[in-house]
Amino acid sequence: MANIKIAAVMRAGVFSPNHIGNDAAILNAVVEQLRKRGCEVETYSEEQLISGEVSEPVIVNMCREQRSIDLLQQYEDEGRLVINSGHGIENCTRERMTRILMGHNIPYPESLTVDTDEVVKTRLQKAGFTNCWIKRGDGCAMHKEDVSYVRHPEEAQEVLQEYFLRGIKRAVINKHLVGDLIKFYGVSGTGFFYWFYPYDEGHSKYGLEAINGKSQGKRTKDLSVTIDNSADSASTANLKRQQRYRLMWMNTKYEPGTVKVVAYDKDGKPVAEKEMHTAGKPHHIELIADRSQIKADGKDLSFVTVRVVDKDGNLCPLADNTISFKVKGAGTYRAGANGNPASLESFQTPKMKVFSGMMTAIVSSSDKPGKITLEATGKGLAKGVLNIESK
């Protein structure tokens, strides 16, 4: 393979939503292997390809820009060897691919191809579509929203309206299939075929492939992101700058169940984890004191977190119940606060609505030692009782 001159064309970052680093790594690995085999390889951007800077007889590419695709098709028709054919790339846009696969009777999810300004709720209902995927049909994905998971026809209609407002005219709607997700790669005319479970490898592009308890992929902070390389419009749209200091799973599917987060150290060993569970109906009031013992000086305070929880103790984040308080024994009710900036309720009155399921009640000691009992009640809720010692 010595003396073969090859152009390697990188994919424009705007076409790699949530995947810029991985796509670059793939092409860089290919370039490295070709150079080890004696090939002379020059790396280009899509902009350099479009501007006419690529003259090599062999082009390896990951292009997605339409102008790049048109050029690749032209070069291929003129006799250059183009790996990732421009014709093949164009056929992988959602609408074309759907028509080709279904037209050749290749197993494919039930699908509808629609205009984004049409009413589709009735069509989806008749076709039995509830959970489904909406994908832009007129080109390659540029934003994470270009592949959207929806849970019912009404939500599908809203997503199509957003596509229309963004200037996307066509979309493909795929019926959601429940089952294992695998990825595979093959090369026509060779014996090469590779498949794997992406969860086992920690891969996730949109974070939506894994549902119902399966991993949604690992995230790490991208320290290669700087102020200088994340200020353009494409980086802003892809939240590139936030990837330096946030771990984000942007398109996680919302459904009842458990969210579990595991943190790993630099050696890949788990060091911390936390679970959150979908709350059921509000069931009882939970009272948690910052201190269970305070001074009997008539001044000391205990700050009590008040939570409306379900029968299993999960916080009910939508609860707005009114909670009434009584204090017995060697103390008094001093004040309450719920953090709601729109609330006009009195701080001193021993009654207040919880905000997002929570509030704080403040209990003061008297100048006599003894037991202080705080009782919290609310309509339809089992009461909460808390004892505090005053010494």
Digit-coded pLDDT (tens) for 334-384: 999 999 989 999 999 999 999 999 999 999 999 999 999 999 999 999 999
pLDDT at 97 over 70: yes
Residue 295: its pLDDT value, please?
A: 95
Residue owning tokens 């008749």: 126
Residue 209: its pLDDT value, please?
A: 40
CB distance 355 to 295 below 8 Å: no
184 CB-near residues (< 8 Å, 6+ apart): 193, 194, 195, 196
Residue 301: its pLDDT value, please?
A: 96
* 295-312 tens-digit pLDDT: 999 999 999 999 999 998
pLDDT at 212 over 60: no
Residue 80: its pLDDT value, please?
A: 95
**Considering the chain, what is the average pLDDT of its residues?**
87
CATH 3.30.310.50 applies to domain 284-390:
no
Residue 282: its pLDDT value, please?
A: 95
The three-state DSSP-derived secondary structure of 334-380 is EEEECCCCCCCCCCCCCEEECECCEEEEEEEECCCCEEEEEEEEECC
pLDDT band per the 50, 70, 90 thresholds, residue 386: very high
* 118-135 tens-digit pLDDT: 999 999 998 888 889 999
* 103-122 tens-digit pLDDT: 999 999 999 999 999 999 99
Sheet holding 5-9, edge to edge: 40-44, 5-9, 58-61, 81-83
Q: Where in the chain are the domains?
A: 5-89, 94-175, 198-277, 284-390
Assigned CATH for 5-89: 3.40.50
Q: What percent of the chain has pLDDT over 70?
A: 91
b/e map of 307-335 (b: 16 or more CB within 10 Å)?
A: bbbbeeebbbeebebebebebebbbebbb
* 251-292 tens-digit pLDDT: 666 777 778 788 888 777 778 878 788 899 999 999 999 998
pLDDT band per the 50, 70, 90 thresholds, residue 206: very low
Looking at the domain 94-175, which fold is it?
Answer: Dna Ligase; domain 1 (3.30.1490)
CB distance 315 to 285 below 8 Å: no
Residue 262: its pLDDT value, please?
A: 82
pLDDT at 193 over 60: yes
Q: How far apart are CA 128 and CA 250, in angstroms?
A: 28
Nearest Cα to Cα of residue 134 among 122, 146, 117: 146
Q: What percent of the chain has pLDDT over 90?
A: 54
